[in-house]
Structure 1
Amino acid sequence: MFRFFENLIDPFRAHDETMPPATLLGFYWRYCRQVWPYLLALMAVGLVVSLIEISMLRYIGSIVDLLKATSPTQIMADYGPTFLWMGFVILIARPIAQVAHDLLNQQAIAPSFTNMIRWQTHHYVMRQSITFFANDFAGRIASKIVQTGPALRESVVQVIDALWFVTIFAGSALVIFWSADWRLAMPLIGWILAYVTTLVYFVPRIRDRATIMSEMRSLVTGRIVDSYTNVQTVKLFAHPDREDEYAKESLVQHTETFRSETRLITLMNATVSTLNGILVVGTGALAIWLWSMNDITLGAIALASGLAIRITNMSGWIMWVSIGIFEQMGTVQEGLETIARPYALLDKPDARDLVADKGEIRFDNVRFHYGKKGGIIEDLSFTIKPGEKVGLVGRSGAGKSTLVNLLLRFYDVESGQILIDGQNVSNVRQDSLRRQIGLVTQDTSLLHRSVRDNILYGMPNATEAEVVEATHQAHAAEFIGGLSDPHGRIGLDAHVGERGVKLSGGQRQRIAIARVLLKDAPILILDEATSALDSEVEAAIQESFFRLMAGKTVIAIAHRLSTIAAMDRLIVLDKGHIVETGSHEELLRQNGLYASLWRRQSGGFLDLDAA
Structure 2
Amino acid sequence: MFRFFETLVHPYPPGEPKTPPRGLLAFLLHYSRPVLPLLGVMSLLTALVSVAEVVFFSYMGDLVDWLSNAERESFFAEHGASLVGMALLVVIGLPLLVLMQSLLTHQSIFGNYPMIGRWLAHRHILRQSMAFFQDEYAGRVSQKVMQTALAIRETVMKLTDLFVYVIVYFVGAMFLVGRADPWLMLPLVVWLVGYIGIMVAFVPRLRQVSMAQADARAQMTGRIVDSYTNIQTIKLFADSHREQAYARDAMDAFMQTVHRQMRLVTLMTVTLTILNSLLLVSVGGMAIMAWYFSFISLGVIAVAIALVMRIRFMSNWILWEVAGLFENIGTVQDGINTIAQDPAVLDRPGAKELVVPHGEIRLEHLYFHYGKVRDDESRPRVIEDLSLTIQPGEKVGIVGRSGAGKSTLANLLLRFYDLEQGRILIDGQDIAEVTQESLRRQIGMVSQDTSLLHRSIRDNIRYGSPHASDAEVLEAARRAHADVFLDTLSDPQGRRGLDAHVGERGVKLSGGQRQRIAIARVLLKNAPILVLDEATSALDSEVEAAIQEQLYALMEGKTVLAIAHRLSTIAMLDRLVVMDQGRIVETGTHEQLLKQDGLYAALWKRQSGGFLGEDIDSVAGTTTTVTNEA
Please state which band the TM-score falls in when normalised by the shorter chain.
Answer: over 0.9
2:427 corresponds, among 403, 421, 444, to: 421
Contact conserved, 2:400 with 2:579, CA < 8 A, in 1?
Answer: yes
Match of residue 267 from structure 2 = 267
Match of residue 575 from structure 2 = 569
Q: Secondary structure of the residue that 2:573 maps to in structure 1?
A: coil
2:510 corresponds, among 499, 504, 508, to: 504
Q: Deviations over 1:173-225 (max 9, x none)?
A: 11111111122222222111111111121111111111111111111111111
Match of residue 26 from structure 2 = 26
Question: Hey, what's the Cα distance between the residues in 1 that align with 2:13 and 2:413?
Answer: 34
Contact conserved, 1:15 with 1:120, CA < 8 A, in 2?
Answer: no
Match of residue 92 from structure 1 = 92
Alignment of 1:343-382 (within 5 A): 343-372=343-372, 373=374, 374=379, 375-382=381-388
Match of residue 123 from structure 2 = 123
Match of residue 484 from structure 1 = 490
Match of residue 398 from structure 1 = 404
| Paired letter, 2:173 | A
Contact conserved, 1:360 with 1:420, CA < 8 A, in 2?
Answer: yes
Q: Once the 2 structures are TM-superposed, how far is the Cα of residue 162 of structure 1 from its aligned partner?
A: 1.6
Question: Hey, what's the Cα distance between the residues in 2 that align with 1:327 and 1:234?
Answer: 35
Question: Hey, what's the Cα distance between the residues in 2 that align with 1:534 and 1:422?
Answer: 39
RMSD: 1.2
Q: Once the 2 structures are TM-superposed, how far is the Cα of residue 388 of structure 1 from its aligned partner?
A: 1.0
Question: Hey, what's the Cα distance between the residues in 1 that align with 2:571 and 2:335?
Answer: 50
Alignment of 1:260-339 (within 5 A): 260-339=260-339
Q: Secondary structure of the residue that 1:496 maps to in structure 2?
A: coil
Question: Hey, what's the Cα distance between the residues in 1 that align with 2:14 and 2:485?
Answer: 43
1:524 corresponds, among 524, 527, 530, to: 530
Q: Once the 2 structures are TM-superposed, how far is the Cα of residue 603 of structure 1 from its aligned partner?
A: 5.4
Contact conserved, 1:455 with 1:518, CA < 8 A, in 2?
Answer: yes
| Paired letter, 1:104 | L
Q: Once the 2 structures are TM-superposed, how far is the Cα of residue 602 of structure 1 from its aligned partner?
A: 3.9
Q: Secondary structure of the residue that 2:505 maps to in structure 1?
A: helix
Match of residue 609 from structure 1 = none
Q: Aligned pair 1:542/2:548, yes or no?
A: yes
Q: Deviations over 1:66-109 (max 9, x none)?
A: 11121222211110000001101111111111111111110001
The TM-score normalised by the length of structure 1 is 0.97
Question: Hey, what's the Cα distance between the residues in 2 that align with 1:112 and 1:603?
Answer: 58
Q: Aligned pair 1:513/2:519, yes or no?
A: yes
| Paired letter, 2:359 | G
Question: Hey, what's the Cα distance between the residues in 2 that align with 1:13 and 1:277?
Answer: 49
| Paired letter, 1:402 | T
| Paired letter, 2:270 | A
Match of residue 150 from structure 1 = 150
Give the 3 Å change call, closer, same or farther, for CA 528–162 of structure 1 in structure 2: same
Question: Hey, what's the Cα distance between the residues in 2 that align with 1:206 and 1:53?
Answer: 32
Q: Once the 2 structures are TM-superposed, how far is the Cα of residue 380 of structure 1 from its aligned partner?
A: 1.0
Q: Once the 2 structures are TM-superposed, how far is the Cα of residue 18 of structure 1 from its aligned partner?
A: 2.4
Q: Secondary structure of the residue that 1:416 maps to in structure 2?
A: strand
Q: Once the 2 structures are TM-superposed, how far is the Cα of residue 29 of structure 1 from its aligned partner?
A: 1.6
Q: Secondary structure of the residue that 2:467 maps to in structure 1?
A: coil
Match of residue 8 from structure 2 = 8
Contact conserved, 2:9 with 2:34, CA < 8 A, in 1?
Answer: no
Q: Secondary structure of the residue that 1:71 maps to in structure 2?
A: coil
Q: Deviations over 1:150-178 (max 9, x none)?
A: 11111111111121211111111111111
Q: Which moved more, 1:578-587 or 1:470-479?
A: 578-587
Match of residue 473 from structure 1 = 479
Question: Hey, what's the Cα distance between the residues in 2 that align with 1:360 and 1:514?
Answer: 25
| Paired letter, 2:84 | L
Q: Secondary structure of the residue that 1:151 maps to in structure 2?
A: helix
Q: Aligned pair 1:493/2:499, yes or no?
A: yes
Contact conserved, 1:445 with 1:508, CA < 8 A, in 2?
Answer: yes
Q: Which moved more, 1:313-322 or 1:240-249?
A: 240-249
Match of residue 436 from structure 2 = 430
Q: Deviations over 1:226-258 (max 9, x none)?
A: 111111111111121111111111111111111
How many residues align? The count is 605
Q: Secondary structure of the residue that 1:499 maps to in structure 2?
A: coil
Q: Secondary structure of the residue that 1:286 maps to in structure 2?
A: helix
Question: Hey, what's the Cα distance between the residues in 2 that align with 1:261 and 1:164?
Answer: 27
| Paired letter, 1:535 | S
Q: Once the 2 structures are TM-superposed, how far is the Cα of residue 574 of structure 1 from its aligned partner?
A: 0.8
Structure 2: stretches of 5+ with no match in the other structure: 612-630
Question: Hey, what's the Cα distance between the residues in 1 that align with 2:105 and 2:240?
Answer: 45
Question: Hey, what's the Cα distance between the residues in 2 that align with 1:549 and 1:47?
Answer: 70
Question: Hey, what's the Cα distance between the residues in 2 that align with 1:377 and 1:160?
Answer: 55
Q: Secondary structure of the residue that 1:571 maps to in structure 2?
A: strand
Match of residue 212 from structure 1 = 212
| Paired letter, 2:433 | N
Q: Secondary structure of the residue that 1:498 maps to in structure 2?
A: coil
The TM-score normalised by the length of structure 2 is 0.95
Contact conserved, 2:363 with 2:388, CA < 8 A, in 1?
Answer: yes
| Paired letter, 1:194 | G
Q: Once the 2 structures are TM-superposed, how far is the Cα of residue 419 of structure 1 from its aligned partner?
A: 1.1
Question: Hey, what's the Cα distance between the residues in 2 that align with 1:50 and 1:16?
Answer: 41
Q: Secondary structure of the residue that 2:444 maps to in structure 1?
A: strand
Q: Once the 2 structures are TM-superposed, how far is the Cα of residue 503 of structure 1 from its aligned partner?
A: 0.6
Q: Deviations over 1:510-562 (max 9, x none)?
A: 00000000000111111000011011110111111111111111111111111
Contact conserved, 1:562 with 1:603, CA < 8 A, in 2?
Answer: no
Q: Once the 2 structures are TM-superposed, how far is the Cα of residue 445 of structure 1 from its aligned partner?
A: 0.3
Q: Once the 2 structures are TM-superposed, how far is the Cα of residue 17 of structure 1 from its aligned partner?
A: 2.7
Q: Secondary structure of the residue that 1:383 maps to in structure 2?
A: strand
Contact conserved, 2:154 with 2:325, CA < 8 A, in 1?
Answer: yes
Question: Hey, what's the Cα distance between the residues in 1 that align with 2:143 and 2:608?
Answer: 48
Identity of aligned residues (%): 53
Match of residue 248 from structure 1 = 248
Question: Hey, what's the Cα distance between the residues in 1 that align with 2:270 and 2:82?
Answer: 42
Question: Hey, what's the Cα distance between the residues in 2 that align with 1:420 and 1:327?
Answer: 51
Q: Secondary structure of the residue that 1:10 maps to in structure 2?
A: coil
Q: Once the 2 structures are TM-superposed, how far is the Cα of residue 125 of structure 1 from its aligned partner?
A: 1.3
Question: Hey, what's the Cα distance between the residues in 2 that align with 1:527 and 1:463?
Answer: 28
Structure 1: stretches of 5+ with no match in the other structure: 606-611
Q: Once the 2 structures are TM-superposed, how far is the Cα of residue 31 of structure 1 from its aligned partner?
A: 2.3
Q: Once the 2 structures are TM-superposed, how far is the Cα of residue 13 of structure 1 from its aligned partner?
A: 2.2
2:603 corresponds, among 586, 597, 600, to: 597
Question: Hey, what's the Cα distance between the residues in 1 that align with 2:85 and 2:239?
Answer: 73
Q: Aligned pair 1:533/2:539, yes or no?
A: yes
Question: Hey, what's the Cα distance between the residues in 1 that align with 2:423 and 2:196?
Answer: 63
Q: Deviations over 1:555-579 (max 9, x none)?
A: 1111111111111111111111111
| Paired letter, 1:496 | V
Contact conserved, 1:46 with 1:160, CA < 8 A, in 2?
Answer: no
Give the 3 Å change call, closer, same or farther, for CA 324–355 of structure 1 in structure 2: same
Contact conserved, 1:522 with 1:552, CA < 8 A, in 2?
Answer: yes
Q: Once the 2 structures are TM-superposed, how far is the Cα of residue 8 of structure 1 from its aligned partner?
A: 0.6
2:449 corresponds, among 438, 443, 449, to: 443
Q: Deviations over 1:104-151 (max 9, x none)?
A: 110001111110111111111110111111111111111111111111
Q: Once the 2 structures are TM-superposed, how far is the Cα of residue 16 of structure 1 from its aligned partner?
A: 6.1
| Paired letter, 1:480 | L
